Structure 1
């Protein structure tokens, strides 16, 4: 989501999970006999992640006018029925959520302020949740998520003043995981309490695949999912373990990058950019392949169709700060993004340049599937 020195929040965490640095999921609560089964017809809601933020350059700063066009495209061209509005900035989050609700979309509203004092994060969460409750009371279809992967993005859980420092500490093996888990549990309980105090609909949280979470605190189990298997049955088997709590399961992120081999890299698909170079450049001799990205997302949707899911939301609609350079593969940062669209700048070397997006093959693949889902069952 919001980038930190060029690397996305979701990419950091899923990379760490794939490296075996996350803790093990433990069961909590009893399975409800009415849920927790596979073969129930797939996701009830099909959506996409839409990230709001300040932007890394003047040219990619948040624009309400651009956002409104994007939300219409999510509804009318991607045929999604749900949008995960995430990022930081209460004003950006609420105007985007309000627009999505006005256009008839289900909203998963998820504030993700990071690298800020705990009190500021909770206040930001509460203010966003109050708006979600106002939407709900006015009849909008809205779920509220208190955030995602707190153990990496909330200071004080893992040692380090910034995301990058916390990542280094985790990779160096200097973290006391038991102490980390205690601090994580404490903050997660606080966040759930804040969420409950301001929002009276379904409350959720988005965790990495191997996070240990007390799901009794929430109504919806949310998982950011970046596994790769050669067989559909392996996905179904892995996903079924998240149904053990007897609660609705939302895949809050799924996706991959647009180059050959990206799905096999799992959550480390982003790690092909040298961010120390100016300008940033792709490492090695990657082969761009929108078909690879589209095929992987289609494969996941096939697997999801055999699991009882509340929602599945592709990561992500657009990544404005990773532009596509068709004539310059070394600087084609879009290859390393998870976006369903490619950002095209009018003046590639100008940070103030205007830009537009164009759909990738993955966009069209999801649009076909989402259109069939929307016309094939009731919301």
Structure 2
């Protein structure tokens, strides 16, 4: 997951019928061989509160984004993640109304365990209501708990925990014990409120008891020069005999970003005001797009159940054309670039424009949509 950020339409339409959802968006598909790609192809959509008044959550903006995800990105799945039960449920409801498969993943962080589990329970109850109304929905109990749940790894926030891990100041045995305990709690809460398929978004090297879940979920940020290396690594996640969902994949838009193995966001000097990009990096949307397509090819080879590109938009990492030192979008994994009307005003309005990665995925996703019969 990208780390450079500080980390009510909540009811599904009562009259929605299962048959209506099934026919709402996707064509039935053509006969013949399906194009390469996961069975479900999607994007992560984060519903945080925003870091500034100008980037606060907007229901109207969210609805338009969900329309674009369906009609212009040609995704069939949206990974609705972030915190705030009302934001999560409003977005999941909108996606389901538009016929999209919903991967609903609450990620309340840096809060007491009790609050995190209650946040999960409330979100899971809504997911169950969607499921009962016929929506295609999977519930993930969270993302990389060692990073977001206090007490598993020492540190007051996400950044301190990452530093402690990188510095080797963490007791791995104790960390694993605490991680296992909380993961089991979260799985139990998920099961208690949701009757559909349950998952969790783990980091690549996490040790997880996948017996607790129906779908193996992995945030995947590896870099290899050859497709065969990806296939070899991904295949190890199939040993549990369960569907594999790539719950995040992507990279940033600068030369060399894919080689950072998920740390591409760590190029911002936040001690400066305004924050600056470190070094003399070269912006390259082409690099980002090529990496995404490379991974999709690998996912096809191991029959991945679902893959969600990280992420649709990152409002708090604006692009500054002509100002590479302050082009925070270079540290973003977003498929779109945020452009502020008034770059130095926290309350400024903004809009996004598609990057090359957006167009590359749209072409691939459109091919998958028109060539593959829809499955549930």
Equivalent runs, 1:294-313 vs 2, <5 Å:
294-313=289-308
Equivalent runs, 1:57-136 vs 2, <5 Å:
57-136=52-131
1:343-365 per-residue CA deviation (whole Å, 9 max, x = no partner) reads 01111111111000000000000
- Please say if residues 52 and 85 of structure 1, whose CA atoms lie closer than 8 Å, have aligned partners that are also in contact: yes
User: What's 1:223 paired with?
Assistant: 218
Q: Please state whether the residue corresponding to 1:305 is helix, strand or coil.
A: helix
Equivalent runs, 1:23-42 vs 2, <5 Å:
42=37
User: What's 1:185 paired with?
Assistant: 180
- Per-residue deviation, 1:2: 8.3
User: What's 2:240 paired with?
Assistant: 245
**Could you tell me which of 48, 53, 56 is aligned with 1:53?**
48
- Please say if residues 2 and 87 of structure 1, whose CA atoms lie closer than 8 Å, have aligned partners that are also in contact: no
d(CA) in 1 for partners of 2:168, 2:254: 31
- Per-residue deviation, 1:84: 0.1
d(CA) in 1 for partners of 2:241, 2:223: 25
- Per-residue deviation, 1:8: 6.6
- Please say if residues 36 and 368 of structure 2, whose CA atoms lie closer than 8 Å, have aligned partners that are also in contact: no
Counterpart check, 1:212 vs 2:207: yes
- Per-residue deviation, 1:313: 0.4
- Please say if residues 35 and 368 of structure 2, whose CA atoms lie closer than 8 Å, have aligned partners that are also in contact: no
Q: Cα 1:366–1:2, aligned 2, differ >3 Å: closer, same or farther?
A: closer
1:197-226 per-residue CA deviation (whole Å, 9 max, x = no partner) reads 000000000000000000000000000000
d(CA) in 2 for partners of 1:40, 1:293: 22
Counterpart check, 1:354 vs 2:367: no
d(CA) in 1 for partners of 2:297, 2:169: 40
- Per-residue deviation, 1:234: 0.7
Counterpart check, 1:331 vs 2:326: yes
- Please say if residues 48 and 80 of structure 1, whose CA atoms lie closer than 8 Å, have aligned partners that are also in contact: yes
Is the deviation greater in 297-306 or in 119-128?
Answer: 297-306
- Please say if residues 214 and 242 of structure 2, whose CA atoms lie closer than 8 Å, have aligned partners that are also in contact: yes
User: What's 2:338 paired with?
Assistant: 343
**Could you tell me which of 286, 290, 297 is aligned with 1:291?**
286
d(CA) in 1 for partners of 2:193, 2:157: 29
- Please say if residues 215 and 245 of structure 1, whose CA atoms lie closer than 8 Å, have aligned partners that are also in contact: yes
d(CA) in 2 for partners of 1:358, 1:227: 27
Q: Please state whether the residue corresponding to 1:268 is helix, strand or coil.
A: coil
Q: Please state whether the residue corresponding to 2:66 is helix, strand or coil.
A: helix
1:104-133 per-residue CA deviation (whole Å, 9 max, x = no partner) reads 100000000000000000000000000000
Q: Please state whether the residue corresponding to 1:200 is helix, strand or coil.
A: coil
For normalisation by structure 2, the TM-score amounts to 0.90
d(CA) in 2 for partners of 1:150, 1:319: 22
User: What's 1:26 paired with?
Assistant: none
- Please say if residues 2 and 8 of structure 1, whose CA atoms lie closer than 8 Å, have aligned partners that are also in contact: no
Alpha-carbon RMSD across the aligned residues, in angstroms, is: 1.5
User: What's 1:139 paired with?
Assistant: 134
Unaligned runs of 5+ in 1: 10-38
- Please say if residues 96 and 102 of structure 2, whose CA atoms lie closer than 8 Å, have aligned partners that are also in contact: yes
- Please say if residues 41 and 307 of structure 1, whose CA atoms lie closer than 8 Å, have aligned partners that are also in contact: no
